[in-house]
A and B are shown apart, each in its own frame.
Chain A
């Protein structure tokens, strides 16, 4: 017997006799003999529950984890504190065991939470409309580019080299096969080279979108206002890839005139999860709403005039429009977006600002301490948030990271992996979770001292 299958032998016999079938095998008689599997699958035998838990614990212990080891690694996924409340809410099985809210009368919980999520994303980004979530930051940016192509009728996209390298890879996968041209805009002093951007815009006829990230992959705050103005001058849309925590203190995309705001939502109450599940957010100006991919929730009333919520503007979607849909997305990352909604409710107007300020202060503290050791030098002089790049004077980053690991810490990213010209450059993230003591120990170990 298997605990997830309630049918007893007696039940099975009763059902078979009702159907008029002699055996369960008879029900599979439409499957031609020669393609039936005439053996058991070659898989390990079933485990009982206790055995399973021990097995999984043993595998988990093969990983170094950030709960036990202070983490200074970011690069798109950040070790922020998650209030206990978040896990408790998303563990309510009425939320996590439900499907996409196709039947609104018994899905008001999910629907209202998404409506609240959309409102929070719009308030953070300063945009007019938000969808219910995308798979992650990378696909949100790629879909934003497709949206821009659809609404401008143009087929070229410019993307800054300051945008997360993996996002650019995904953008390339999505766009190139759809016949969309991608060109990259270089960097200058850790920021997007705006002269280069102007050259690219004037050189390339018919650019649909300019994609910038701020804070960019190096943590640097870009001059989004100038870039947006430049894009608009050439009739291109601006896609702002932004960090939701930073938006508590940084100018929101809506204020500098971006047309689409997209990004990774993980920092809002979602664990690292070895890269997923997280969620992407996508918000836009009102005029683009019918070009948006994914689920959107709207307010309405029931037959007695009471407020309620439903999935809406579905004529954009694959289940209605099939090959003419704006995207193929069906399942999204609803539960992760719910976690973000709870997180933002807990943090609220003041708390999120404090998180952002703490990240800012602690990362600057770590930065100046590292420079003060003399073992690291500046890569650029631009303002940054939560994350920064430094160059090791005489050691490969791998050596530094190994030393940190020996002392129970998780070091930063070797930038050379994505930017071959950035030899010995190290990308370090410092969230509100890192204490002064941890940062001091980190700096000491990074500099090679204190054995």
Chain B
């Protein structure tokens, strides 16, 4: 195992290089009253530059990324992250711009925000986008607050419930609760879509809206979407589109044309920006015209000559974040859209769906397929043999690690038992899909022949199986060494 950076520390070693003080003023001992001063130094590591580089290089080698190998993590759209976009985000003209500079000195940045608003609106069939939300869940919160503000502005104050299907991402109900709504869960029907009868029974004068992912987390397109939209709209509610699965439909159909009123997109999924080990993402939120006044402030405007940030939006829900969002992420997504163009974006969806259907076809004889129909960008299998073999989906996932694959999402959606949710994306080749399918099939066979081997996997990863129960039962969340222990 790698040492912790603290375990490499040795007093007197340095990795920094700082200028000497070139002004004659006093230090903190004079400028800061004693009672405000720190008495004991913060125990940060003392290491050399070589130590830093070796340490973090060693850590990086214990990680699997998209650049390392196939990463079919369902609902996460782990597509290739284009390198030129990293170069662009590293240009001084973008990375070294202060967010509070005058608009005249940040015309390029505001232009990116403005053009992204226009392009994302076209892609989704909406009228206006705010790029402020920092992640998908953050976009959900912003979008739900917009829905809340819209109803309130109309004096329609009794709408305090958000309807969420049982197949939804966990962030949907969590965001709705954070926005002050009660959550009504509706069941899926036997085809994996929203059960229309349940939905009809759930809507009423207290319905603020419905949150829906389409295609849903089963990877299935809800063909009743127009009826669903009518049911919700007729009851006076609004439709919220969770864009986590937008990779399936980009250039093919648009949430705005399906009847959605509010949309968020995950730029770190559909628009190829890297996930960074958990972030930064970006979750722009788009709306139809009637909801535009409620979007977060500021929005980017253009008068044909100058770009500017508009703060004069009295009905806005306010800010959801400082400044204008994860600009560096928005910039990468902008470069991606300009690289692909309209034809390329449609081909993204077409190939993502083709790859998923091919992989589903290769695997369906070897695993259970609870919803056997054409899928979109992802599909959900179930490992139904676990009672006979004693092997669980988790074990199969761990066994995949030995073959250099990141496992699919497991145990989600919650409505499928022993679920494996597989999303190959369009950036993977037929050869990779075949190798993955062959491997997964051989693991299923292995589970019959030698279940113990699968149950104790991984055998060739950086560590053997880690004890998550122990970590939660006796939380050790910071490093304590003898020198700093009180």
A318 touches B171 (CB 8 A): yes
- Residue A450 at the chain B interface, CB threshold 8 Å: no
User: Cα distance A57–B274 when bound, in Å?
Assistant: 21
Residues of chain A in range 310-328 having any CB-CB distance to chain B below 8 Å = 310, 312-315, 317-325, 327-328
B5 touches A11 (CB 8 A): no
Query: Which single member of B60, B93, B347 contacts A95 (CB below 8 Å)?
Result: B60
Residues of chain B in range 67-125 having any CB-CB distance to chain A below 8 Å = 67-68, 71, 73, 76, 78-82, 84, 86-88, 90-102, 105-109, 111-112, 119, 122-123
B67 touches A53 (CB 8 A): no
Residues of chain B in range 322-381 having any CB-CB distance to chain A below 8 Å = 322-329, 335, 337-348, 350-351, 353-355, 357-358, 361-362, 373-374, 376
Query: Which single member of B31, B60, B78, B326 contacts A99 (CB below 8 Å)?
Result: B78
Residues of chain A in range 152-170 having any CB-CB distance to chain B below 8 Å = 164, 166-167, 169-170
A7 touches B426 (CB 8 A): yes
Q: Which of A202-210, A231-239, A349-357, A371-379 lies at the interface with chain B?
A: A349-357
Query: Which single member of A61, A136, A296 contacts B108 (CB below 8 Å)?
Result: A61
A43 touches B257 (CB 8 A): no
User: Cα distance A96–B90 when bound, in Å?
Assistant: 14
- Residue A73 at the chain B interface, CB threshold 8 Å: yes
- Residue B154 at the chain A interface, CB threshold 8 Å: no
A103 touches B319 (CB 8 A): no
Query: Which single member of A44, A166, A432 contacts B338 (CB below 8 Å)?
Result: A44
- Residue A436 at the chain B interface, CB threshold 8 Å: yes
Query: Which single member of B24, B278, B397 contacts A101 (CB below 8 Å)?
Result: B278
- Residue B148 at the chain A interface, CB threshold 8 Å: yes
B278 touches A100 (CB 8 A): yes
User: Cα distance A169–B430 when bound, in Å?
Assistant: 50
User: Cα distance A221–B430 when bound, in Å?
Assistant: 61
User: Cα distance A104–B64 when bound, in Å?
Assistant: 10
A361 touches B23 (CB 8 A): yes
Query: Which single member of B53, B59, B428 contacts A6 (CB below 8 Å)?
Result: B428
B342 touches A45 (CB 8 A): yes
Query: Which single member of B1, B59, B327 contacts A113 (CB below 8 Å)?
Result: B59
Encode A273-313 as 1/0 by CB contact (under 8 A) with B.
Answer: 11111010000000001000001111111111011111011
User: Cα distance A432–B19 when bound, in Å?
Assistant: 8
Residues of chain A in range 2-52 having any CB-CB distance to chain B below 8 Å = 2, 4-7, 11-12, 14-16, 18-21, 24, 26-32, 34-37, 40-47, 49, 52
Chain B, residue nearest A322 (CB): B173
Chain B positions within 8 Å of A110 at CB level: 59, 63, 277-278
Chain A, residue nearest B433 (CB): A15
Write the nearest CB–CB distance from B279 to chain A, whole angstroms: 4
Question: What is the interface residue range for chain A against chain B?
Answer: 35 or more
B472 touches A331 (CB 8 A): no
Encode B40-72 as 1/0 by CB contact (under 8 A) with A.
Answer: 011111110100110111011111111110010
Residues of chain B in range 182-226 having any CB-CB distance to chain A below 8 Å = 183, 220-221, 223, 225-226
Chain A, residue nearest B281 (CB): A331
Query: Which single member of B107, B322, B346 contacts A63 (CB below 8 Å)?
Result: B107
B42 touches A179 (CB 8 A): no
Chain A positions within 8 Å of B84 at CB level: 49, 52-53
Query: Which single member of A31, A45, A271 contacts B341 (CB below 8 Å)?
Result: A45
- Residue B390 at the chain A interface, CB threshold 8 Å: no
B107 touches A62 (CB 8 A): yes
Chain B positions within 8 Å of A401 at CB level: 102
User: Cα distance A286–B158 when bound, in Å?
Assistant: 40
User: Cα distance A64–B353 when bound, in Å?
Assistant: 43
Given A7-B430, A276-B280, A298-B476, also A30-B341 (CB < 8 A)? no
B22 touches A46 (CB 8 A): no
User: Cα distance A358–B16 when bound, in Å?
Assistant: 14
A40 touches B350 (CB 8 A): no
User: Cα distance A143–B221 when bound, in Å?
Assistant: 35
Give the most central of A93, A336, A347: most B CB within 10 Å: A93
In the A-B complex, the 4 residue pairs with the closest CB atoms = A60-B93, A275-B323, A46-B341, A335-B276
Known A247-B38, A362-B25, A368-B25; further 16 A-B contacts with Cβ < 8 A: A2-B344, A12-B354, A15-B430, A60-B108, A63-B94, A65-B93, A102-B409, A103-B397, A119-B4, A135-B321, A173-B320, A177-B179, A273-B326, A276-B324, A313-B472, A315-B472
Can you pick out 29 interface pairs between chain A and chain B where the beta carbons lie within 8 Å of each other? Answer: A7-B355, A19-B358, A30-B220, A31-B253, A63-B97, A76-B322, A97-B66, A98-B64, A101-B278, A103-B64, A105-B464, A110-B59, A166-B323, A173-B320, A225-B35, A251-B38, A272-B97, A276-B328, A296-B477, A301-B466, A306-B464, A310-B468, A314-B472, A322-B183, A325-B170, A327-B174, A328-B175, A360-B31, A365-B24
